[in-house]
Structure 1
Amino acid sequence: MLDTCREVVTPEGVALRLPAAGPMPRALAWLVDFAIRLALVFAIGVVLGLMGRSGTGVYLIGLFVVFWCYPILFECLWDGRTPGKRLLRLQVIAGNGAPVGWLAAIARNLLRVVDMLPFGYTVGLLASFADPWGRRLGDMVAGTLVVHEVQDRDAPTLPAAEAFPAPVTLLPADQAALVAFAERAAHLTPARQVEIAELATPWLGLRGHAAVQRLFAIANGLLGR
């Protein structure tokens, strides 16, 4: 399965492109985490083995913590990343792009038992092939998504538009807001761009897409481009 992008729009109108991770990088991350957990279990067993039979109960508690609490704690306290996911540059987030919460992390990890049926994550793999964003059943129920970490981007650039002088005198704060709008425009939906641009209609004298383009031109003029 190829990695795909899921686009969500925040209440502020910002369009987020979430690069969903396919089964292969997720499987590699799981193997890394599994190896870490095995090492932890071995270390706990060696230490508690020195306690004789009295260490058996503590060992069972340790097994539960390592195999069940390990992913939940890391995903909630380490920004959606277990050590394996961090190594593979993956992250668990909510379906709307927000950080994953405790209930969602618990749900997706408890349902891992179902995804593993009948063996080797067969159910989870089939579900990921059927889902456009590669989610296993646990993610579907919990409303979560595993994505690739977004790489640092270059400094934002303004949309191409011939420089145009502002028809009125703009205060420094207004100039900064106008330039910021132009820089963020690529991450806004067209409808949100128009909505923001039309706030300037009283002094701009334009509406719709024409207002958006004129603000881009004024922003370029303010920056001397």
Structure 2
Amino acid sequence: MHIFNRVKFNTPESVELEFTLAGIGNRAWALLIDYLVLSVILILFLIAWITLSIQLADLWKSIFRDQAGFWLVAIAFLIGFAIYGGYFVFFETLWQGQTPGKRFTKIRVVRDDGRPIGLQQATLRALLRLFDEVLFIGAILIMFSNQEKRLGDLAAGTIVIQTQTPTTSRTLTISEQAKSLSEQLLQIADLSAMLPDDFAVIREYLYRRSAMAPKARTSVALQLAKDIKAIIHLENIPEAVTPDVLLEAIYLAYQKFSNFSHD
């Protein structure tokens, strides 16, 4: 395992993104939180199942006869396993690579190319989780692989990255027009549809635009503005707003939105 191991992605807009891999410590902490949540869910299920079994004891005996106890335990085990696997599939699909534990520890599962994972990747990771945890196979693979992948990550083509915005000493100039527009975007744009990865693309462009050739800068800004407008469902903006100003405003608005969401 490498301390602060980093990976780089090249987006279709030719912007290079760099992320820090989550590391075994953050992943173990996230898993512990998820298991605490899962334990509560499974205990509630067990209480409900026992209560239901007692109330329907005569029905179970008429169906399973002398093997009613065995079948009740077997069914409870299968449902419990479905809850266990379904927990990770449900949250990682719904929250785009995060579970409650991952969200708390600020890590996220993404595909090898940086795109959000889908149902297929989340299911593969959940199905292989038990294998990863037998004899600490997953921990061993994470510690000794360059991209810190467990068996589920290798099969699904995913990696786990840190989601917090890295600190930087680089300066970023924001126009007054963008500052004013950002306040409007908080009211008219669906900023919740943006992913941290989308924000990272905008941030990297704004930091690197001064080093770009004018033609390349114009092309990238236009494409980025078009893509982000579609993501946040933004249609009506003044014609005088340039792509650069819009991206600056979205950058500021998303930061404020994220702060509000975590307060």
TM-score normalised by L of structure 1: 0.66
CA distance in 2, matches of 1:47, 1:109: 25
Bigger Rg over Cα: 1
1:181-213 CA distance string (max 9 Å, x none):
99825457x8xx3471598xxxxxxxxxxxxxx
* Match of residue 188 from structure 2: none
Q: How does 1:106-117 map to 2 (within 5 A)?
A: 106-117=123-134
Structure 2 length normalisation: TM-score?
Answer: 0.57
Structure 1: which amino acid aligns with 2:31?
Answer: W
Q: Percent identity?
A: 26
Secondary structure, counterpart of 1:116 in structure 2: helix
Q: Which residue of 2 aligns with 1:162?
A: none
Say whether the 8 Å CA contact 2:33–2:101 is kept in structure 1. yes
Larger fraction in helix? 2
More divergent stretch after superposition (55-64 vs 16-25):
55-64
Runs of 5+ in structure 1 lacking a partner? 159-180, 200-218, 220-225
| Partner Cα distance (1:88, 1:22) in 2 | 11
Considering only aligned residues, what root-mean-square deviation do their CA atoms show, in Å? 3.1
Q: Matched residue of 2:147: which SS?
A: coil
| Aligned partners of 1:23 and 1:125 also within 8 Å | yes
Within 5 Å, give how 1:1-225 maps onto structure 2: 1=1, 2-51=3-52, 52=54, 53=57, 54=60, 59-117=76-134, 119=135, 121=136, 123-151=137-165, 157-158=172-173, 184=205, 186=207, 193-194=212-213, 196=216
Residue type at the aligned position of 2:28: A
Please say if residues 76 and 100 of structure 1, whose CA atoms lie closer than 8 Å, have aligned partners that are also in contact: yes
Gaps of 5+ in 2: 61-71, 174-201, 220-243, 245-263
Q: Could you give the per-residue CA deviations for residues 43-66 of structure 1, whole angstroms, max 9, x where no partner exists?
A: 111122112255657634530232
Amino acid at match of 1:26: R
Return closer, same or farther for 1:132/1:186 CA change in 2, 3 Å cut-off: farther
Q: How many residues align?
A: 172
**Deviation at residue 131 of structure 1 after TM alignment:** 1.6
Inter-partner Cα distance in structure 2 for 1:56 and 1:182: 53
Kindly provide the amino acid, as one letter, of the partner of residue 75 in structure 1: E
